[in-house]
A and B are shown apart, each in its own frame.
Chain A
Amino acid sequence: MRPIIHAPAIIAALFFLGACSQSTVRDSEVLSRSEPVQFNNAPQPIEPEAVQPAAPARRDMVVLLPKPNGYIGGVVVRSEGSEPLLLNTAYAGARIDGPGQVHALAYDADRARDEFGSVIQSLPSRPANFVLYFLEGKDELTPESDGEVTRIFSELKSRPDPEIWVIGHTDAVGTMQYNDQLSLQRAERVRDDLVSRGIPAESIEVSGRGKREPLVPTSEGISEPKNRRVEINVR
């Protein structure tokens, strides 16, 4: 008896399904603009004109901006068929004319503002950062930190759809697990305090970073008041 469906057919069908579910727009767009493929068995004369590059299919751009504090990071531009291009100076840019066609460009502040000013203006306000400090081994705020809460309230009022992210931190005394728990307790203590002062609980997110992100780096087991803190991001 002959099997009705063969493995190659099944594999082909699954490949087809896979290709459909993860289709890349890039390929279809590039193909749609290319010349129709001609099937002709006769040898074609080689015409020099045919080798000339066509007008670029695209003109995609990327430009690196300095942060407001002057810091310049980096962006790696990758395109199939070309070497990765690292942009790591202020207003360094790249133009991508199609797959594998990456060209480095030098922008300046004025040109970047002319071309991209409107989209940059639409960025949301940067998250504001506040820090509250805790008494050792407890989830009680230091007296100075109590006053900081007032400033958080005025920041909240200045934003559309304000959200608060409360992040607890500890010093390096104790195990990872102990500090994860303590940092979360500190964050929850601050959340409860903010809720009791009238902030809706659903706009507050809490997390505990444990001892992963000390403000003052120390060796294991060192008690450091500056690391026993809760960070508040208003965004």
Chain B
Amino acid sequence: MVKALTFQRDILIFAFLTLLCAFLAMPRAMAADEEAGRVKVSKGEVFIERGGKRIAAPVGTSVQASDTVLTGADGSVGITFHDNSLLSAGPNSELVIDKFVFDSTTHKGEFDTSLKKGTLAVVSGKIVKQSPESMRIRTPAAIMGVRGTEFVVKVDDPATN
């Protein structure tokens, strides 16, 4: 009797956690496929990794949330986002667009990117003007909360130099 009750409880917990996981995974899936910005500057080798595939990224290429933007030794890329934020990456860079959500009526949104390596220049846009620090840049050891500004970031890993 006690064992049977324990088993029932186990099933309930399992069902609850499964639903929770499905719920947490949902926004990520819904965010895909929507254009967050466009490549406006593309010099040398510039690629986007999307869904396990690597595509060349000339001027005019759509950039989406969850894309990874890569540049070669001679490459650099500039992207204009839908809230007028500007990002550029220098040679040998790896930049992940983790999240881009923007409501063009209220200007509320969230913008998360990660610089894994290389250099990045940032000019913040309307999301930050509406809600400071809703744009965040992650590096391997820190998170930069953006309060409306221009700045540059470098991720330098001595182990690979």
Question: Which one of B38, B41, B124, B153 lies within 8 Å of A123 (CB-CB)?
Answer: B41
B66 at the interface (CB under 8 A from A): no
For the complex, give the distance between the alpha carbons of A123 and B41 in Å. Answer: 7
Q: Mark B124-161, 1 if CB is under 8 A from A, else 0.
A: 10000000110000011111111111111111111100
Which positions 47-85 of chain B face chain A at CB distance < 8 Å?
Answer: 59-60, 76-80, 82, 84
Cβ contacts under 8 Å, B77 to chain A: 122
Contact between A55 and B158 (Cβ–Cβ < 8 Å)?
yes
Q: Do B59 and A61 touch across chains, with their CB atoms under 8 A apart? A: no
A60 at the interface (CB under 8 A from B): yes
Q: For B140, give its contact among A60, A88, A159 (CB under 8 Å).
A: A60
Number of A-B contacts (CB under 8 A): 207
Closest Cβ of chain A to B33, distance in Å, is 16
Interface size class of B (residues with CB under 8 A): 35 or more
Give Cα A122 to B76, complex, Å: 6
Chain A nearest CB, measured from B103 CB (Å): 9
Residues of B within 8 A of A87 (CB): 151
* Complex interface: stretch among A39-47, A192-200, A205-213, A216-224: A205-213
> Contact between A77 and B144 (Cβ–Cβ < 8 Å)?
yes
Given A72-B149, A119-B88, verify A126-B140 contact (CB < 8 Å).
no
**Bound Cα distance from A122 to B88, whole angstroms:** 6
**Beta-carbon contact of A122 and B43 below 8 Å:** yes
Q: Report yes or no: A3 in contact with B7, Cβ–Cβ below 8 A.
A: yes
Interface residue ranges of B10-57 to A (CB < 8 Å): 10, 13-14, 17, 21, 25, 38-41, 43
User: Which chain B residues border A122 with CB–CB below 8 Å?
Assistant: 41, 43, 76-78, 88-90, 121
Question: Given A119-B88, A122-B41, is A60 in contact with B3 using a C-beta cutoff of 8 Å?
Answer: no
Contacts A122-B77, A163-B38 given; does A17 touch B156 at CB 8 Å: no
Q: Are A75 and B151 in contact (CB under 8 A)?
A: yes
> In the bound complex, what is the Cα–Cα distance between A63 and B59 (angstroms)?
27
Q: Tell me the A52-89 residues at the B interface (CB within 8 Å).
A: 55-67, 72-79, 84, 87-88
Question: A3–B149 contact, CB under 8 A?
Answer: no
Candidate in B43, B143, B153 with the most chain A CB atoms within 10 angstroms: B153
* CB neighbours of A97 from chain B (8 A): 141
List residues of chain A with CB within 8 A of the CB of B3. 1-3
Q: List residues of B whose CB falls within 8 A of some A CB.
A: 3-4, 6-7, 9-10, 13-14, 17, 21, 25, 38-41, 43, 59-60, 76-80, 82, 84, 86-91, 104-107, 114, 116, 119-121, 123-124, 132-133, 139-159
What are 30 A-to-B residue pairs whose CB atoms are below 8 Å?
Answer: A2-B3, A3-B6, A6-B10, A7-B14, A10-B10, A21-B25, A56-B158, A58-B156, A60-B142, A60-B155, A62-B142, A63-B152, A65-B150, A65-B152, A77-B143, A77-B144, A79-B142, A88-B147, A98-B141, A119-B119, A120-B88, A122-B41, A122-B43, A122-B78, A122-B121, A123-B121, A123-B123, A124-B88, A160-B60, A235-B80
